[in-house]
Amino acid sequence: MIAPLIQGLKLTLRYFFSKKITLQYPDEKWDVAPRWRGRHVLTKHASGKIKCVACMLCATVCPAECIKIEGAAEPDNRKYPEKYTIDLGRCIFCGYCVEVCPRDAIEMSTAYELSEYSREALILDKEQLMEPPQPRYVSQKKAG
């Protein structure tokens, strides 16, 4: 009758003194792999112009149909996206848009903190997508 109690206590004490594997989020952040598919980012040339030429391939290949593009043309006939939106609420983060882009105009960052209080905040426009994602919370280590 006491043997099962001692056996259970032995197991509890073994795990009590072992190394902890739990992260204390948000104070401790998870180190993601470089190939992690997080928030989308539209890239620019060194001149500051967007690389996207509004070919619509990313919107065509998207299985979730979360990418909407309205193209326009400059006076020199170069196409660019006048409006470019991605609905992160619908996105399944498959990465097809990145793979199909002929100009490497869209990338997926390693940002994983994408929660918002409204669905409208998950719809990112061209200006938001051109800015790299910022960390949402500053890590604060406790002294001691």
Q: Which residues are annotated as a binding site for [4Fe-4S] cluster?
A: 52, 55, 58, 62, 91, 94, 97, 101
Pick out the residues of the known binding site. Answer: 52, 55, 58, 62, 91, 94, 97, 101
CA distances from 63 to 9, 57, 73 (A): 52, 12, 27
**Cα angle 49-52-54, degrees, rounded to a multiple of 5:** 125
Alpha-carbon distance of 74 to 120, in angstroms, equals 30
Is the four-CA dihedral 110, 37, 42, 83 of positive or negative sign? negative
